[in-house]
């Protein structure tokens, strides 16, 4: 089945003479090792594929039509030559640093030094070697450059160097990526959910009903004028340092949960804790947690007080209604004559009622 995928355009100024076309290939995911599809572009390198789907309750499809040319008039209509794709998913190819895909294969590092090309060629010996061969054939220079960036080097003579992957350099580069993400701004979805939302200060000044009544009485003067209400204190917003530290932590977690193995994730987190002081962030988040708990307790207390006041009002209404009924009953008794009151006390059990004398007699 055909799919719609947005891929990068080839660079017009690229001097490469390669005849390779963009290829979809399967490589192990750097975190889960599950087979995952990537796009190998001849000029822009490796890309990961992100799929955007519509909700299941609102299915979508694609309608493809011929692209109009400048020579065709605007009134041109096509009959046929179109195509409908039932799957409305949109695949977007975005660049990915091949270092993420290399890490599971080059770590843990070997004890001896090797030329960069040998380290890259060893990828073809993996179980997914066929796919790695395509990547090596198209992006060998890029792969070797990433290997050299995370490796220690020694001079082997003749201007040649040998390399051995260094965990410290790997972690340092990953930490720089986290810093770049934090400084450049996180995607809006991450920023809203994991930065803006956690830093919102709760409203702690919840005024109960009793407090409202008391404040109203105090603000009302004898001459009918009222005092100006004091301006409520503004909750201070988080400082730029706090926001940056939280963005840095979110960036670390994003890379860890998306591209890195648990071992590398742990090392990266420990490294960031060493070079950045997250104590102020942790203290600020702990303060917000305490304020939220106090606000929740205040809301619950205010609700209980209002409910108690409503119950008291209901009891007063019932008592007032009962009192009115008793007063009406007393008034009715006062309007009755003494003779009627005496007759009402007579025992009439077993006696026929007066209305029984006016009924029709039953046929014998």
List CB contacts of 11: < 8 A, sequence separation 6 or more.
Answer: 43, 44
Q: Are 195 and 229 in contact (CB under 8 A)?
A: no
Q: What integer is the mean pLDDT of 293-309?
A: 69
pLDDT at position 304 over 80: no
Phi first, then psi: what are they for 344, rounded to 5°? -65, -20
pLDDT at position 233 over 60: no
16-30, 163-177, 226-240: range with lowest mean pLDDT: 226-240
Q: Residue 207 — very low, low, confident or very high, per pLDDT cuts 50/70/90?
A: very low
Q: What integer is the mean pLDDT of 53-76?
A: 74
The model's pTM: 0.68
Check residue 216 and give its pLDDT: 46
Top-confidence range, 45-59, 274-288, 294-308 = 274-288
Q: Are 69 and 84 in contact (CB under 8 A)?
A: no
Residue 305: half-sphere exposure toward Cβ, Cα within 13 Å: 14
pLDDT at position 196 over 60: yes
pLDDT at position 275 over 70: yes
pLDDT at position 145 over 90: yes
117-121, 136-140, 291-295, 341-345: range with lowest mean pLDDT: 341-345
CA distance 236 to 233: 9
The residue ranges of every structural domain in the chain are 20-54+86-165, 186-218+239-322
Look at the chain and count its residues.
364
State the residue for tokens 């009402």.
Answer: 344
Q: Are 31 and 259 in contact (CB under 8 A)?
A: yes
Q: What integer is the mean pLDDT of 140-147?
A: 92
Check residue 176 and give its pLDDT: 96
Check residue 321 and give its pLDDT: 82
Provide the mean pLDDT of the chain.
80
The residue among 228, 283, 261, 244 whose CA lies nearest residue 100 is: 261
Q: What integer is the mean pLDDT of 45-59?
A: 87
């Amino acid at each position: 089945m055909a799919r719609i995928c947005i891929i990068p355009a080839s660079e017009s100024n690229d001097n490469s003479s390669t005849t390779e076309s963009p290829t979809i290939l399967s490589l192990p995911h750097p975190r889960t090792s599950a087979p995952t599809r990537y796009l190998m572009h001849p000029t822009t390198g490796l890309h990961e594929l992100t799929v955007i789907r519509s909700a299941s309750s609102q299915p979508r499809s694609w309608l493809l039509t011929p692209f109009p040319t400048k020579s065709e008039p605007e009134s041109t209509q096509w009959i046929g030559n179109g195509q409908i794709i039932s799957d409305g998913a949109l695949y977007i190819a975005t660049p990915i640093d091949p270092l993420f895909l290399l890490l599971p294969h080059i770590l843990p590092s070997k004890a001896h030094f090797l030329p960069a090309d040998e380290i890259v060629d060893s990828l073809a010996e993996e179980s997914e070697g066929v796919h790695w061969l395509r990547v090596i054939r198209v992006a060998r220079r890029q792969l070797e450059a990433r290997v050299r960036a995370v490796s220690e080097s020694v001079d082997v003579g003749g201007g040649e160097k040998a390399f051995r992957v260094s965990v410290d350099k790997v972690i340092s580069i990953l930490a720089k990526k986290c810093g770049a993400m934090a400084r450049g701004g996180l995607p809006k979805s991450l920023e809203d959910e994991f930065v803006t939302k956690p830093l919102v200060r709760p409203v702690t000044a919840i005024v109960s009903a009793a407090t409202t009544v008391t404040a109203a009485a105090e603000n009302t003067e004898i001459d009918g004028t009222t005092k100006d209400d004091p301006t409520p204190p503004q909750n201070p917003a988080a400082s730029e340092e706090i926001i940056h530290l939280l963005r840095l932590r979110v960036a670390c977690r994003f890379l860890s949960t998306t591209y890195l193995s648990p071992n590398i994730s742990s090392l990266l987190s420990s490294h960031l804790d060493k070079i950045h002081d997250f104590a102020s962030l942790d203290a600020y988040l702990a303060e917000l947690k305490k304020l939220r708990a106090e606000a929740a307790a205040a809301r619950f207390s205010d609700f209980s007080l209002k409910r108690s006041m409503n119950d008291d009002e209901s009891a007063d209404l019932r008592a007032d209604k009962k009192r009115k009924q008793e007063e009406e009953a007393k008034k009715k008794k006062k309007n009755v004559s003494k003779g009627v009151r005496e007759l009402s006390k007579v025992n009439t059990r077993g006696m026929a009622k007066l209305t029984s004398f006016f009924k029709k007699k039953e046929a014998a």
